[in-house]
Structure 1
Amino acid sequence: MKSPIPTTETMLARLVGFDSVSGRPNAPIIGFVQDWLAGQGLRAHVLPGPEGDRANLFVTIGPADRPGYVLSGHLDVVPATEPGWQGDPFTLRSDGARLIGRGACDMKGFVAAMLAMAPELAAMDLRAPVHLALSYDEELGCRGVRHLLSALPELCAPPAGAIIGEPSNLTPVLAHKGKAAVRLVARGVPGHSSRPDLGANAIHALVPALAAAVAQARALEAGPQDDRFAPPFSSLQVGTVAGGQALNIIPDAATAEIEARAIAGVEPLTLLDPVRAAAGSAGVEVQDLAHYPALALDPGHPLAALARDLSGRATLGAVSYGTEAGLFQQAGIPAVICGPGDIDRAHKPEEYLTRDELAETCAMIRRLGEHACA
């Protein structure tokens, strides 16, 4: 006997109820999804990552030996420590048409629609499969989905396309920037500031790399341009600098975090080469934090036309935020971004999705199922 099918709103409430902050074990939410799908007669593949305490999940609805379509979302969320929350961030609340909770928009709303629609998809006579892919630690640089993508050849035929349901107001987005981020770690010798000759200042050691970062940021403004993006060039910034204990103590440790965002066609890692070179010359350690490629789907690709038909909205050339879509494309799977909600609501207190947006997402997934039956 199959488990009762919840409404999409009920499913969203269950998902929001899991405190699935990035970088933590995610067995509770993965187990819930796996058990619920099993209750619908669907076998989900749980794919543990190398961390050992978190996993991706992948399920195929329909014939796995034929090219089909992936609906992809991440289950992790950013922390909810902002003071602006009016209630428990991990308990879904309604305020008129708004459904409020951490991850409601980014991106458990899309996942809730995927899961709530799974029984309806399973009841269709699908000639091409619809795959549901759920990843971990997307918010930490798209870490988990890489392991899911490496497992796909053993799980299904090469997919014809992937829809990544990040919030885009259900507008199909064809391109986004890539990203690379590093942490610089400098170590010095402490001592009294009156005797700098007896110590080594860790903050001073960072200066060549920081100067290189500033110079590279300025140079990129005059570099390759792509008017689909805002700004239309690749960018680089120093996001954090920390070090030192007191003004009269020579700092023995200092760190800085630097990110680069690359327009399509530019490898993000190369943008940090001047920073790496300057850090190395000063004996500063460089630690990689994140790296994912840009997305660039040809506007004439069949997936672009399909996403337009499914969503009922014209395609958008590009956005400047990043997603897992570039990694799908890198793995040979054409990808497009198309999900409910607005990215401006993400990572903020009182994050929300509306009931109408949830309903529209379910309708889009239903149309995908109907397309897969043709």
Structure 2
Amino acid sequence: MSILILLPPTPHKRKQTTMQHRRRKKPRVETLTRELVSYPSESQTSNVEVTRYASQVLGAVGFDEIEEIPYTDAAGVHKLSIVAKMGKGSGGLSLMSHDDVVPANPDDGWTQNPYKPWVAAGKLYGRGAADMKGPLAASICAAAHFRPNQLEKPLYIMVTADEEVQGVGAQHVTARSRLFAEASSGYGIICEPTRLRVVHAHKGSLAMRVTSQGKAAHTSSLKGVNANMKMIPFLNEMAKLNKQVLTAQRFRNDEFKPPHSELSIGINDHNRATNISPAQSICTLNYRPMPGVDVDGLIDKARKCAKKYGLRFEVKHRGQPLYTPRTDPLVHTALKLTGKRKAGTVAYGTDGMAYAEKMKQMVVIGPGDIAQAHTVDEWIELDQLHKGVDLYTRLIDHVCVQGLN
């Protein structure tokens, strides 16, 4: 279930609240980034409070429809994603961000409180400054330059939960949001940090889990069954499969650096003591598929191998690679407006892994550097924030005001 909020026009004869005042005074990107960063929204906790704040700001700058997509995660924590719309019709332009962040432990070496953002030497510091509350703030500040009656095509801003947890929030948006369904025929800008370079493709994700069952007993009794021993033949075959994915041409895509992805193999028996026969052994298989790679064939090989050795097999998550051809009008427009000559690729993934199921024309462009994501004393340059506002403003003008491809 999603909830659509229709915001009423501001009354004429009322004392202005702080948010009504923002209708006349556009938010400053540095200030808005600080405010967003000040909300701790680590993925294992709720993001509802910061998302409600973002929704309030979006309403104040002119978005007249805001759809809420709430859900409860596997740990029972309430999460919230939103899709906001300015203007009429469908298609248009979508600016896509997330507001969850990875954990920030002050004991890891932070020089100041990660949720009390600070500025020094032209950089704004704090958890999520680069990934990606700064880019989110830039998209909102760009939208604030426009009013609904100026737009020939609609503008959407999407803010998701749990991007850092396999894009769960974006999966809910893709499956449940009416406004996203409207927007999916248009163009999407994923605002992850790229230093404002145009990224036309990124890798997807695949997570598989294989479990062997044993029998717990004291190892001196010889009555136990070691689940790890049952897993070893399967692991040997997965090691051979990993060599294939790292060398075979069918798993290669030269648009990416590196041009292959590994089959990352993990193993854990969660055993409580070394003198107990492990009752269970769990193998995790993670792979980052590139466009054009036969993922179904890879899954089928792993599944048949697990069955061969009497092991339980599950596909835990699957996210599509993002790929918009370099010849696409969106890529050409993005290159023209950024002044760049060539679109590139990245090895990481974004919410685009979920959105790609319905939206076919997307690129990744955002202020800040992905190298700062998830780091201690994470920062984004103020200059990048201002350039991000300028670029998003020109994109909105091109697509939504002028109505151009």
**TM norm structure 1:** 0.91
Which of residues 32, 39, 43 is equivalent to 1:22?
43
Contact kept? 2:143, 2:396, Cα under 8 Å: no
How far apart, CA to CA, are the structure 1 residues paired with 2:383 and 2:239? 45
Structure 1 residues 85, 307: closer, same or farther in 2, change over 3 A?
same
Per the alignment, residue 220 of structure 1 pairs with 245
Determine the structure 1 residue equivalent to 2:326.
Answer: 299
Amino acid of the residue matched to residue 286 of structure 2? E
Shift of 1:321: 1.0
CA distance in 2 between counterparts of 1:157 and 1:140 reads: 24
Structure 2 residue identity aligned to 1:327? A
* 1:209 lines up with 2:230 in the alignment: no
Match of 2:9 in 1: none
Please say which of residues 89-98 and 102-111 is displaced more in the overlay: 89-98
Identity %: 29
Aligned with residue 99 of structure 2, among 75, 81, 85: 75
> 1:359 aligns to what?
386
| Counterpart residue number, 2:54 | 33
Distance 1:14 1:267 in 2: 44
In structure 2, the partner of 1:373 is 401
Check if 1:3 corresponds to 2:21.
yes
The structural deviation recorded for 1:99 is 1.1
Per-residue deviation at 1:217? 0.8
- The aligned runs of 1:132-151 (5 Å cut-off) are 132-151=157-176
For 2:343, which of 312, 316, 319 is the aligned residue? 316
Deviates more, 1:354-363 or 1:12-21: 12-21
Q: Are 1:56 and 2:81 an aligned pair?
A: yes
SS at match of 1:94: strand
Distance change in 2, residues 1:54/1:349 (3 Å) = same
Alignment CA distance shift 1:84-1:271 (3 Å)? farther
Of 184-193 and 347-356, deviating more is 184-193
Output aligned runs, 1:1-374, within 5 Å: 1=16, 2-4=20-22, 5-42=26-63, 43-49=65-71, 51=73, 53-63=78-88, 65-81=89-105, 83-122=108-147, 125-153=150-178, 156=182, 158-196=184-222, 198-223=223-248, 224=250, 225-239=252-266, 241-268=268-295, 270-371=297-398, 372-374=400-402
CA gap 1:186/1:231 in 2 versus in 1, 3 angstroms = same
Per-residue CA deviation, residues 243-265 of structure 1 (Å, 9 max, x unaligned), is 32333321123333220111211
Cα 1:302/1:267, change in 2 over 3 Å: same
Deviates more, 1:357-366 or 1:282-291: 282-291
Cα deviation for residue 283 of structure 1 reads: 4.0
Q: Distance in 2 between matches of 1:140 and 1:178?
A: 14
CA distance in 1, matches of 2:276, 2:49: 46
Contact between 1:340 and 1:361, CA under 8 Å: does it hold in 2?
yes
Aligned mates of 1:369, 1:154 — CA distance in 2: 18
Q: Tell me if structure 2 keeps the 8 A contact 1:188–1:251.
A: yes
Alpha-carbon deviation of 1:153? 4.7
CA–CA separation in structure 1 for the residues paired with 2:157 and 2:183 = 14
The secondary structure found in structure 1 opposite 2:206 is strand
**8 Å contact kept, 1:269–1:291:** no
Distance 1:33 1:267 in 2: 39
Amino acid across the alignment from 2:152: R
* Bigger Cα displacement from structure 2, 221-230 vs 204-213: 204-213
Instruction: For 2:42 and 2:188, locate their aligned partners in 1 and report how far apart those are by CA, in whole Å.
Output: 25
C-alpha displacement of 1:191: 1.6
SS of 2:220's partner is coil
Q: Shift of the alpha carbon at 1:312?
A: 2.4
Instruction: Give the drift of 1:339.
Output: 0.9
* Residue deviations 1:98-143 (CA, integer Å, cap 9, x gap): 1111111111111011222332123771112221011111111111
Cα pair 1:94 1:100 within 8 Å, conserved: yes
Aligned residues: 372
* Residue 347 to residue 213, structure 1, CA distance change in 2 (3 Å): farther
User: SS in structure 2 opposite 1:49?
Assistant: strand
Q: Distance in 2 between matches of 1:287 and 1:16?
A: 37
Report the Cα distance in structure 2 between the residues aligned to 1:129 and 1:358, rounded to whole angstroms.
Answer: 24
Aligned residues of 1:240 and 1:258 also touching (Cα < 8 A): no
Where 2:341 maps in the other structure, the secondary structure is coil
CA shift for structure 1 position 73: 0.7
Q: Offset at 1:204?
A: 1.9
Q: State the alpha-carbon separation in 2 of the partners of residues 179 and 276 from structure 1.
A: 17
Deviation, structure 1 residue 240: 5.0
CA distance in 2, matches of 1:194, 1:30: 56
Report the CA distance between 1:86 and its aligned residue. 1.5
SS, match of residue 396 in structure 2: helix
